[in-house]
Every structure is written in C-alpha cells, then in structure tokens.
Amino acid sequence: MNYFKIIFYNFLVFFVAITLIEIFFGYWFKDENFGIYMRKERKINWHTNSTFNEKKYDFFYKRNYWGFRGEEFDPKDVKVIFEGGSTGNQRFTPEEFTIVGLINQKLKLLNFDMSIFNASTDGKSVNGYINDFNYWFSKIPNFKPEYVIFYIGLNDRNIVDPFLDYKISEDKIDQIKDFIKNNSIFIDKFKFFKNKYFPRNTSAYDFNNATLYKDFQYVDYQKAIILHKDLNKKDLEFKDMFKDKLIKLKSIIEKKDFKPIFITQLKFDGLRDKKLFLVNNELKKYAEANNYFLIPLDEILNMQINDFYDEVHTTPQGSQRIADAISPLLLNFFEKNIR
C-alpha cells in the first residue's frame, strides 16, 4: 500500500509539474496560439532531392515557426509578403531558385533594404488569401506587412479542396491533435530538436516530362483574345463568382491597411485555358477600378519549352524567366512607394 502511495504521489507531482510548465511556457494562452490552424505548414525541415530538365538539386525544404517558407524571422521586420499557391511555394525547388527567392536576390543585388517573405502554401486560392489574414496572420504578434503580393489565377479556375484554403484538418480527432501540437512547449522543443539534428528525408523526385511538350503550341495573350471571345452563360456565372471573391479581398485590404500588388499567371501553354484567361482579365479590371498595382504577366511574357515540369508548375528555368519579367516592374514600384 505504501509502495502504491509513493508511485501515486510521484506521478501526481510529475503531472502537476508538467501542467505548470505547459501553462507558463507553452502557447495555450499566448497571442501566437495557432490553435488548430497551420500545424502542417509550420516548423518543417525536409531533406529533398529533385531533378528538373536533367539537373539534380539537393536541398532542405523549410517552413519556419510562423509558417513561412525559409528561415526564422522577427515578424516586426516584415514589410513585404508573397501570397501564392503551390506555384508560389514551389515545394520541390530550392528556395534560391524559386520565383520569390530569385526576386530577393535581385533586391539584394541592388541594395534594397528589404526582403519578400513567402507565405505561399499549396492549393491556396483567393479564398485562402482571405483566410490567411483572418486565421493565420492574426496569430502572429507585431506582424503588419506594408505590401502584399498576390499571385492569382491558376487556383481560382476551379473549386478546390476547402482544407487547402482553410489549413485545418477535417477530422475532429486530427483537429484535437493539431491543437495540442501547436501549443505544447514539449512538442515544440522536440520538433526543433528533430528538425535540426534529424531532418526528415523525403523521396527523390524526378520531374523530367517527356510528353508535356508533345505537339506543343503556345497561346499568347493576343491569340487568347480571339480564342476566348465568345462567352456562354457558365462563363458569365464563373466571372461573377470570381468577382465576389475579389470584393471580399478588398475588404481585407482596407481593413488591414496594406498596399496590394497583383500578378496574373500562365500555364505551360500560355492562355489556352479559358477560365485562366477570364480570371486574369477580371483581376486586371479589379486592379484598375481600385487603383491597385498589377503586373500582367500573361501579357508581357511568353513561356518557353521546359519552363514547366507539368501544366502549371515551373522548373528553375521557368521561375527565372518569370522573376526576370516581374523584377524590373516590382523594383520600380518599390522605388516610388517604399515608406
């Protein structure tokens, strides 16, 4: 009986100690309590091997404590963020060869005292950008970006999996697990230790695609105007749905008081996709009506063979081409507007 009491009291002391440590050092009651959101997008360090156009890349795919791609940072130092889906995240590409990474290199080369922080996550549409401000960025203390770059087009052609826009698990049990993992100081320290000394090894990914460019024909903006000139009822309904998203985004822009920058998108064959063409055109009208800065990538750039490894995701070669087209316009905007 005495032996049982010793075990019981030791366990009780241990349980109370763990509870007190969690209460005082965990994130349960702090501003940066992410709750059930973003757990699968934070504190990641994956050793990755990719092959594009027969060239191999060995790197670590990292997402920091706040959920952004790349290294840790102090939220109060963030002036510019980049909002995109998988085409902005570029999970399988070394950070320095992503569109954001390449633009940052140009900023550094020209001695701009600023960096663009990549908030892109796979599958995200305009609805996801809105949710980011409501459920993700609101959890980050001292976070008030002055400029937000929105890379829009491809993920707004179709209805996507709601999880990709909300970043929460569908299953209630998984939500409870995510809540604990996001707030426990012990799990947080374990994750830090594991990422630093035992990073996860992912599979090797070979993105050489021998069939993508078979019978390749590129549809540039001028050709697309003719190709997609006739609109049916479904096209008009689709445009109205997308415009509703943009109206909601405008309320976020005004509420959060930042300057938006919009960039349209392309597929490997340009603008053959009618819905992408319609999204891009509506985005241009929206930007003009609200006096927002926009870079019409679909008008100023023609992509080339091997710029993409599938219909929508760019190789390092394609990312370089896009960064080269965007950078001069973006740098000119920052020179005129930076506070």
Mean per-residue pLDDT, 51-57? 95
Strands 116-118, 293-295: pairing is unpaired
Which helix (DSSP H) or strand (DSSP E) does residue 44 occupy? strand 44-52
- Mean pLDDT of the residues in the chain: 93
> Residue 190 above 80 pLDDT?
yes
**Average pLDDT for residues 185-211, to the nearest whole number?**
86
**In the chain, how long is the greatest CA-to-CA distance?**
89
What size, in residues, is the chain?
A: 339
**Residue 132 token pair:** 């980011």
pLDDT in tens, 154-169: 999 986 566 678 788 8
Between CA 290 and CA 288 the distance in angstroms is 5
Q: How many CB atoms lie within 10 A of CB 31?
A: 11
The DSSP annotation for 104-136 comes to HHHHHHTT-S--EEE---TT--HHHHHHIIIII
pLDDT tens for each residue of 286-305: 999 999 999 999 999 999 99
CB 77 within 8 A of CB 330: no
Looking at residue 186, its pLDDT comes to 86
- Mean pLDDT in residue range 330-339: 86
Sign, Cα dihedral of 239, 241, 247, 249: negative
The token duo for 324 is 């080269």
Question: What CATH homologous superfamily does 66-172+216-337 map to?
Answer: SGNH hydrolase (3.40.50.1110)
Beta bridge partners of 267: 270
CB 118 within 8 A of CB 89: yes
3-state secondary structure (DSSP) of residue 338: coil
- Are 161 and 120 contacting, i.e. CB atoms less than 8 angstroms apart? no
Answer for the pair 192, 43: CB distance below 8 angstroms, yes or no. yes
pLDDT at 87: 98
How many Cα atoms within 13 Å fall on the side-chain side of residue 176? 3
Rounded Cα–Cα distance for residues 102 and 109 (Å): 11
Dihedral angle over CA of 208, 213, 214, 215, nearest 10: -170
Token pair for residue 219? 């549809």
Provide the pLDDT confidence category of residue 261 given band limits of 50, 70 and 90: very high
Closest CA to 59 of 69, 47, 44: 47
pLDDT over threshold 90, residue 284: yes
And the tokens for 100? Answer: 């954001």
Q: What span, in angstroms and rounded, lies between the C-alpha atoms of 95 and 105?
A: 11
pLDDT of residue 194: 86
pLDDT over 60 at 140, yes or no: yes
Q: What are the φ/ψ torsions at residue 23 (nearest 5 degrees)?
A: -65, -45
List the one residue out of 316, 306, 303 whose CA is nearest residue 56.
Answer: 316
How far is Cα 308 from Cα 213, in angstroms, rounded to an integer? 9
pLDDT grade for 115, boundaries at 50, 70 and 90: very high
Residue 110 has pLDDT above 90, yes or no: no
